[in-house]
């Protein structure tokens, strides 16, 4: 069976804690970084020298690049490499190169599966690092890092003055469309990790996984990716003269459901350590913000229909209350360490900030501020729409042919 070793978080450890991560559109947890691993001693007698050297070289490349990339994950400027790409895209490629060779350890049966002690530095767990002697733990860690890198890429793509490799001269609309594809791909990695990889680990190891890799966090990150994809769709619909109010409301209501589910998976987890606390605050903020815009659009449709004016007013009043809560939640998220800030408002957030303060006061009852609970109680229920965005389908690559040589 696999074995576990966790190291307490100590001052001066390898885990890096940035104080400020700049502008944030997409929340990106700190990168989990693999610690050095000697493949030769545990595998030397069972594998060819060339295969051991290849495993070692591929993983060492990831160790070095992830260590360099970790402090830069949210920064808008990427470091160009000699190949013309960025360290972000090169690290993603390094992980994709490593995975088929790693799968040889998984598929080689009990003989090699538990021979190695894989150690990764955590970000959202109190334990600084976690070591397990099970190759499926390594596969899970690789897929998680691949997904987080995609979320980082989407964040950089949606920031102003972006310089993400391959997108420097791309229009904002094309960047938005590209980001949706990236979100769906990231969700696909995370969904596969939950559905196919976690069940491969023995129950005792699953119970000892760091919070970064628990089922709740992985599912919440997956739903976050889908929720942010819908948010981009909504922003594009708002900017389109062809999109009807009903289409915009549907997208907003879907967004509420994605963020609600993401919040349900993460709300009871003990994420109180740096990135973990900030992760929770981000989900809370986006959930409240989604409710504000959904109630606003729902209220506008109720106004247009044959519904009573009181129901429309109640929906709009709820939107105004959620907007106030959203602003407080946004401030709380950005103040939590590592501190961050909003880029200039755009898309659904800009629409929300401009429309509600302008339109709602003339359409609603001037409730006393202490009537908040009553406002929420009388607000009509939002329509329940089926969720349209699904994670991309993902399958592990085939085992590298070098294992059959």
By the 8 A CB rule, do 134 and 142 touch? no
What average pLDDT does the structure give for the chain?
84
Which range (5-14, 150-159, 284-293, 382-391) has the least confidence?
5-14
Pick from 379, 355, 343: which is nearest to 162 by CA? 343
% of the chain beyond a pLDDT of 70:
81
The pLDDT value given to residue 361: 60
pLDDT tens readout for residues 183-225: 999 999 999 999 999 999 999 999 999 999 999 999 999 999 9
The pLDDT value given to residue 11: 33
The DSSP secondary structure of 127-175, one letter per residue, reads EEEEEES-HHHHHHHHHHHHHHHHHHHHHHHHSTT---TT-TT--HHHH
User: What is the C-alpha to C-alpha distance for residues 97 and 200, in angstroms, rounded to an integer?
Assistant: 22
The pLDDT value given to residue 122: 87
CB half-sphere exposure, 373, CA atoms < 13 A: 1
% of the chain beyond a pLDDT of 90:
54
pLDDT tens readout for residues 341-358: 988 877 788 887 887 777
How does residue 83 score in pLDDT terms, banded at 50, 70 and 90? very low
Q: Enter the pTM of the model.
A: 0.89
Cα 257 to the chain's mean position, in Å?
Answer: 16
pLDDT tens readout for residues 17-26: 678 888 999 9
Q: Are strands 339-341 and 20-23 parallel, antiparallel or unpaired?
A: parallel
The pLDDT value given to residue 377: 76
For the chain, the helix, strand and coil percentages under 3-state DSSP, each to the nearest 5 = 60, 5, 30
Q: Would you tell me the crossing angle of helices 275-304 and 215-239 to the nearest 10 degrees?
A: 40
Pick from 359, 364, 363, 360: which is nearest to 375 by CA? 364
How does residue 2 score in pLDDT terms, banded at 50, 70 and 90? very low
Domains, the chain, ranges and CATH?
20-71+86-159+171-213 (1.25.40.280), 242-389 (no CATH)
């Amino acid at each position: 069976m696999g074995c576990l070793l966790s190291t307490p978080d100590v001052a001066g450890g390898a885990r890096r804690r940035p104080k400020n991560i700049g502008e944030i559109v997409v929340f990106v947890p700190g990168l989990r970084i693999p610690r050095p691993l000697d493949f030769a001693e545990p595998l030397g007698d069972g594998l060819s020298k060339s295969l051991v050297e290849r495993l070692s070289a591929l993983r060492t490349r990831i160790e070095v690049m992830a260590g360099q990339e970790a402090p830069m994950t949210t920064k808008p400027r990427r470091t160009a490499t000699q190949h013309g790409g960025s360290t972000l895209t090169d690290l993603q490629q390094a992980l994709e190169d490593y995975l088929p060779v790693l799968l040889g350890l998984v598929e080689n049966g009990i003989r090699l599966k538990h021979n190695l002690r894989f150690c990764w530095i955590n970000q959202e767990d109190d334990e600084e690092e976690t070591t397990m002697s099970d190759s499926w733990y390594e596969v899970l860690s690789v897929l998680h890092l691949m997904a987080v890198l995609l979320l980082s890429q989407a964040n950089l793509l949606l920031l102003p003055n972006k310089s993400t490799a391959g997108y420097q001269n791309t229009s904002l609309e094309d960047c938005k469309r590209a980001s949706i594809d990236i979100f769906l791909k990231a969700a696909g990695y995370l969904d596969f990790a939950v559905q196919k990889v976690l069940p491969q680990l023995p129950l005792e190891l699953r119970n000892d996984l760091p919070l970064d890799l628990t089922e709740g966090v992985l599912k919440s990150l997956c739903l976050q990716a889908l929720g942010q994809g819908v948010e981009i769709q909504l922003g594009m619909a708002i900017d389109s003269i062809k999109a009807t109010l009903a289409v915009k409301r549907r997208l907003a209501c879907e967004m509420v459901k994605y963020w609600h589910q993401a919040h349900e998976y993460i709300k009871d987890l003990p994420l109180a350590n740096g990135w973990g606390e900030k992760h929770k605050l981000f989900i809370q903020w986006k959930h409240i913000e989604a409710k504000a815009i959904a109630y606003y659009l729902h209220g506008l449709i109720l106004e247009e229909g044959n519904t009573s004016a009181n129901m429309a007013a109640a929906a709009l009043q709820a939107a105004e209350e959620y907007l106030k809560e959203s602003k407080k939640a946004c401030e709380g998220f950005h103040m939590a360490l590592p501190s961050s800030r909003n880029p200039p408002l755009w898309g659904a957030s800009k629409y929300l900030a401009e429309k509600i303060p302008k339109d709602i006061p003339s359409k609603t009852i001037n409730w006393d501020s202490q009537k908040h609970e009553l406002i929420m109680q009388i607000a009509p229920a939002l329509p329940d729409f089926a969720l349209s965005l699904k994670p991309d389908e993902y399958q592990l690559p085939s085992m590298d042919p070098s294992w059959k040589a």
